[in-house]
Structure 1
Amino acid sequence: MPMISDTASLDAFCQRLKSASYITVDTEFMREKTYWPILCLVQLGGPDEARAIDPLAPGIDLAPLYRLMADASVLKVFHAARQDVEIFLHQGGAVPTPLFDTQVAAMVCGFGDSVGYETLASQLAKARIDKTMRFTDWSIRPLSEKQIQYALADVTHLRVAYEKLVRKLEKNGRLDWLTEEMALLADPATYRVDPDNAWRRLKPRSTSPRFLAVLKELAAWREREAQERDLPRQRVLRDETLTEIAAHHPTDVNELGRTRGIGKGLVEGKMGLAILEAVRRGLDTPEDRCPVPPDRVEVPKGLGPVVELLKVLLKMKCDEHGVASKLVANSADIDAIAADDAADVPALHGWRRELFGEDALKLKHGHLGLGFCTDGRRLRLIPSEPVDPAPPAAIID
């Protein structure tokens, strides 16, 4: 079936989909040479048909598509939605809502961490995905029939996967578990990069407030430059060059020119002046307004075994309930719980606390123990009374 490549056909197709309770959505895009993704193909699946839409077709207006994406009466089903949603937000001005991410749903249903679409299609839709088109350059026209059919498979099998996942979530009472994750995906703030916070993406080698102030200004300059020129950040200036400049904070062209990884042409041009101006802003930042490095949870000395026990408990609980451990807690969360009973981490709130957090605190304080079942192969929780730590051994002189 040919792609939709004109506005009238797109509008008619979107009108038909408006009566659906849900639609399946996927995109193909290119981003290797740009800051903003280039939308090359959109696949939409309804109850009875699926079509590919050509955003690169001359004269096509995607307004009917964006109106459908914003229609609150139609659920939009994605797999690994984040990058697709970012494209719709950037180009259409709004997050597609309401939305459902089958990757997250699969994590709740015991398919493991970040399950791929091919695995989901195979296990739930009994479909085999032809991977030969995976590295297609979707910007090249014309696309072959094989390419289009490959792209459409990303929304046709998704219908079956979605329906089976929903039934499973309803059966085990876990639909509400997705609420928090879907709210995060639907929040426009999730996708908007504030240049003033771009420095947080880096891995600074120093925690000096002055170094961080210069790094913050440099990273903000690079982010705006990348956005305006539509170039990847690393094409504007590499991370290591950015941190090198922040460390030595050059104040003139000659000093900047001695920075490793920066060319003479850049130093002597407008970008060189912009870099020096960013350095100056960082150096002029008042001491009390310099950035503070993110807090790092320091596990108190001697709690290493507690951390390891909590990790065992997490795996045990997630295996028992068929939930991906990544969705419940990560290593930083475990460290935080070991250090502080009131740590503000997801694992100590809502359904995660019921599944893991409550028992994690009990295990930490000795009210629960871990032991093997009689088969010697499975772990179980054992109620226990806390034991006071033994007094230090006497030292005989």
Structure 2
Amino acid sequence: MGAILLHEHDLPADVAFSGSVAVDTETMGLKLHRDRLCLVQLSAGDGTCHLVRVAPEGPAPNLCALMADPSVVKIFHFARFDVAMLLARFGVLTAPIYCTKIASKLSRTNTDAHGLRALCKELLGVEISKQMQTSDWGAPTLSPEQQQYAASDVLYLHRLRDHMDALLAREGRTDLARACFDFLPQRARLDVAGWADEDVFAH
């Protein structure tokens, strides 16, 4: 694992990403309006991970500018949750997006193993641990184990995207995936506005 750089409250102004950035979040739970956003992880796919500890209140202008930057694709695994959390906390609508989980579900219909750990093991030959997933991300200090776990959630997303692109093209579903990715910001808006469990397209 490469360098892990920890930042407080916002991404430093001198940290820039070009083309694409892998993104993940850690929270106190899975309820948008109950559980707070604690950490945002970012990587350019170069082995370095930036960890931004999010304050309970207040802005993060540099982080939000990156999330809204139309020239930088944000690569997530299960983007729906992370994008909604960022929207609920900061009011920023993240775009454009690539979601490796959606890509896997559209291209790997021979399996139901679409989790990040399964994809890393099968496609990259990399074992990642989920042991720290439910640890206390709101703690005053993040342990080295927490930092390593958080970093592992973004360090491999660029490589996974390359595999997913090849599979989507092979199955003729690239355009369908792109349409799903494009809709994700609106899906997040629906979740934050209260329609997380209701299918507004149903009869």
TM-score relative to the length of structure 2: 0.83
Q: Render the CA deviation track for 1:334-362: whole Å, top value 9, x for unaligned.
A: xxxxxxxxxxxxxxxxxxxxxxxxxxxxx
Q: Residue 114 of structure 1: CA displacement?
A: 6.6
Aligned to 1:25: 23
> Secondary structure of 1:12's partner?
coil
Aligned to 2:125: 126
Q: Which amino acid aligns with 1:66?
A: C
Q: Which residues of structure 2 form unaligned runs of 5+?
A: none
Q: Residue 56 of structure 1: CA displacement?
A: 3.0
Q: Render the CA deviation track for 1:300-323: whole Å, top value 9, x for unaligned.
A: xxxxxxxxxxxxxxxxxxxxxxxx
Aligned to 2:12: 10
Partner Cα separation in structure 2 for residue 140 and residue 76 of structure 1 = 27
Partner Cα separation in structure 2 for residue 176 and residue 34 of structure 1 = 30
Partner Cα separation in structure 1 for residue 89 and residue 130 of structure 2 = 28
Aligned to 1:145: 144
Partner Cα separation in structure 2 for residue 98 and residue 34 of structure 1 = 21
| Cα 1:176/1:34, change in 2 over 3 Å | closer
| Cα 1:34/1:102, change in 2 over 3 Å | closer
| Cα 1:131/1:6, change in 2 over 3 Å | closer
| Cα 1:60/1:143, change in 2 over 3 Å | farther
The percent of aligned pairs where both chains have the same amino acid is 29
- Equivalent residues of 1:77, 1:102 under 8 A apart: yes
Partner Cα separation in structure 1 for residue 181 and residue 113 of structure 2 = 15
- Equivalent residues of 1:21, 1:74 under 8 A apart: yes
The alignment status of 1:44 with 2:42, answered yes or no, reads: yes
Q: Render the CA deviation track for 1:115-138: whole Å, top value 9, x for unaligned.
A: 111101111221111222122111
The alignment status of 1:90 with 2:88, answered yes or no, reads: yes
Aligned to 2:61: 63
| Cα 1:117/1:161, change in 2 over 3 Å | same
- Aligned Cα root-mean-square deviation (Å): 2.7
Aligned to 1:168: 167
Which stretch of the first structure deviates more once superposed, 121-130 or 162-171? 162-171
| Cα 1:32/1:94, change in 2 over 3 Å | closer
| Cα 1:169/1:34, change in 2 over 3 Å | closer
> Secondary structure of 1:192's partner?
helix
- Structure with the higher helix share, 1 or 2: 1
Partner Cα separation in structure 2 for residue 22 and residue 60 of structure 1 = 26
> Larger radius of gyration, structure 1 or 2?
1
Task: Name which structure has the greater RCO, CA cutoff 8 Å, separation 6+.
Answer: 2
Partner Cα separation in structure 2 for residue 130 and residue 182 of structure 1 = 27
Q: Residue 185 of structure 1: CA displacement?
A: 1.1
| Cα 1:33/1:192, change in 2 over 3 Å | closer
Which stretch of the first structure deviates more once superposed, 63-72 or 43-52? 43-52
Aligned to 1:75: 73
